[in-house]
Amino acid sequence: MNFWKKLKKPIMVLAPMANVTDSAFRRVIAKYGKPDVMWTEFVSADGLFLGGYEHLIKDLAFTEEERPIVAQFFTGNPEMMEKAAELAGDLGFNGVDINMGCPDKSVEKQGGGSASIKNPLNAQEVIRAAMRGASKNGKNLPVSIKTRIGYNKNELETWLPTLLETNPAVITLHARTRKEMSAVPARWEHIKRAVEIRDNFVDSNGKKSETLIFGNGDISSLEDAEKKVIEAGCDGAMLGRAIFGNPWCFNRDLKKENVSIPDRLRVMVEHTKLFEELLPHKSFAIMKKHYKAYVNGWDGAKELRMKLMEAKDANEVGGILKGYK
């Protein structure tokens, strides 16, 4: 059941980003430049089982074309994480990921995201709970973790072994601390050090670690990711911001700069229609950040972008683009 072991390295995966990599955008990405693995947006495990199920379950919708796909949850409560991981298995996901890196204060208040770094023993309990949940009902989903190199300072030497002791399938490391947010460049030398720690790690049973290490942070393109992976010696990379306005990001045969402007706009409209169809419960304003990314780099792009910012639905977007050359 551990699909990670079947993938060819380096493994290139799509980062989970709230109100970005939703089901609509993932479908577009799967069609035009599919990564090796996809992640859902993060979902609150507490919210799922303490009153918000009907709303949050929509964020766990996916299609067969998106496989392999991993459901990402956050919580500081092992019991809630166990339930969420079990749900992921019942829904047919290929894996479960635990968000231990998000700096959002509302996430941290629930003991999830970056707050996990400050409570390492509880973090281990949450991971083990996820593994219990992921192995229920005849399932055996691999559990992975996305985190940072530390909270207020670099804590890799202690934080990473704490995680490795639980034997997760993958650890994705964002090469900054929680305190740094994105204010400083990602330091990929820490990813290289993480690989060294993993390679020298022996757990309490005397077993060497088989956990994959992925790097994350300041990756501009697939080529940049491949270069960084080689330099760090890690097993793969997670790409986030590089995907904005660029569903061709993971496509080795077609780069965004080689896609014609009419084709870019056509895919943008396709994305918009999917958003409206699949996510009627979400604000249409979410699409505006995508328009900023899709529509740039040519004469007249700014004027078109300004018009799109005023659009209220897919029909208006289509009208604005009708006859645009």
Rounded CA-CA distance 304/138 in Å is: 52
Tracing tokens 């590089």 back to the chain, one arrives at 242
Catalytic-labelled residue, pool 38, 56, 102, 314:
102
Rounded CA-CA distance 292/3 in Å is: 36
Using alpha carbons, list the distances in angstroms from residue 307 to 228, 265, 292, 300, 302.
38, 14, 11, 11, 9
| Residue 201, token pair as written in the block | 């790690």
Using alpha carbons, list the distances in angstroms from residue 90 to 21, 50, 54, 171.
22, 19, 16, 23
Residue 152: CB partners within 8 Å, gap ≥ 6? 177, 178, 179
What are the DSSP calls for 237-254, one per residue? EEE-GGGTT-TTTT-SS-
| Residue 23, token pair as written in the block | 């089901």
Rounded CA-CA distance 229/296 in Å is: 29
| 249 belongs to the catalytic site | no
Contact status, residue 107 vs residue 74, Cβ threshold 8 Å: yes
Rounded CA-CA distance 298/301 in Å is: 5
Contact status, residue 135 vs residue 110, Cβ threshold 8 Å: no
**Which residues belong to the active site?**
102
